[in-house]
Amino acid sequence: MRVVLITGISGSGKSIALNVLEDDGFYCVDNLPVRFLPDLIGSLRDSGHERVAVAIDARSGESVHELRHQVGRLASAGHDVKTIFLNASTTALVQRYAETRRRHPMSLPSPGDDERATLIEAIAREREVMSVLQDLGLSLDTSDLHPNVLRQWVRDVVGAERAPLTLLFESFAFKEGVPLDADLAFDARCLPNPHYSPDLRPLTGLDAPVDAYLRQIPSVVRFVDHIAGFLHTWLPFYIQEHRSYLTVAIGCTGGQHRSVWCAQELATRFRRTEHVLVRHRGLALRSRGL
């Protein structure tokens, strides 16, 4: 069976991810206690289901620690298991809860405690509980993602073929902050900026004129060469640690030219030998007019 586990921080988009998978034909279950996961998978397999998506979060309590063991058991049984850990900054979470006016699941009083936690305290408590799972699969920062972008990225990740390790190259704007999902982050702000060319300013790193401009600058090519060399050296060690995903983030000031070009160039080089995904946070925000 294809098994997708959606976990992470409340308010980070788990419902959106689960809904898009349900629309794509997955049998979806929300808020499943971890101990019931093997029985659910066995029952659905016997019923003829081939694809299932399960959301597991901090409402499972301390039993979330067992998820890592359960994932190992499912993989050993031959299932294709993908885990997506959704995260977001505290600022983004507070804003989302203010908009929806929903109560945080960790705000209820603990046994023997009559006081409710504040929203900030509840988020901090949940981060502590869920931290043991953050490196279990792909960690995705949804802080500045429009729901439609999140839906597409979930489809991209789930649709990816099984591989020892998937490389995700991600461009971003430093003015928006370093993404929480970055395993490695590189700063391209030291490179010549096409923004200062009137002809190139409205374009992006995906456009041919920007590609031609940056490709002919030795320092730009050398910057990408050094990142590629680092990855070629250390990827085998990440694979030895049984990592499923490695997110390499490249940032520039606006996330429009240099970081986009570098991410695309790296993706092109590594696509010859590795399973690669690429995404551009700055361009996703730009498409929304932000």
For residue 132, the model assigns a pLDDT of 85
pLDDT above 60 for 187: yes
The whole model's pTM is what? Answer: 0.68
pLDDT above 80 for 286: no
Task: Give domain limits for the chain.
Answer: 2-159, 166-287
pLDDT tens per residue across span 58-83 = 877 767 888 888 888 898 888 999 99
- Distance CA(273)–CA(148), nearest Å, equals 30
Q: Residue 50, Cα to own-chain centre: how many angstroms?
A: 24
pLDDT tens per residue across span 188-216 = 999 999 999 999 999 999 999 999 999 99
> What single letter denotes the amino acid at residue 281?
R
For residue 111, the model assigns a pLDDT of 57
Percent of the chain's residues with pLDDT above 90: 57
For residue 240, the model assigns a pLDDT of 78
| Fold that domain 2-159 belongs to in CATH | Rossmann fold (3.40.50)
The mean pLDDT of 258-271, rounded to a whole number, is: 96
pLDDT above 90 for 186: yes
pLDDT above 60 for 29: yes
Mean per-residue pLDDT of the chain: 89
Sequence length of the chain is: 290
Query: Would you place residue 99 in the very low, low, confident or very high pLDDT band (cuts 50, 70, 90)?
Result: confident
Query: Would you place residue 13 in the very low, low, confident or very high pLDDT band (cuts 50, 70, 90)?
Result: very high
pLDDT above 70 for 279: yes
The mean pLDDT of 219-226, rounded to a whole number, is: 97
pLDDT tens per residue across span 100-124 = 888 888 777 665 555 677 889 889 9
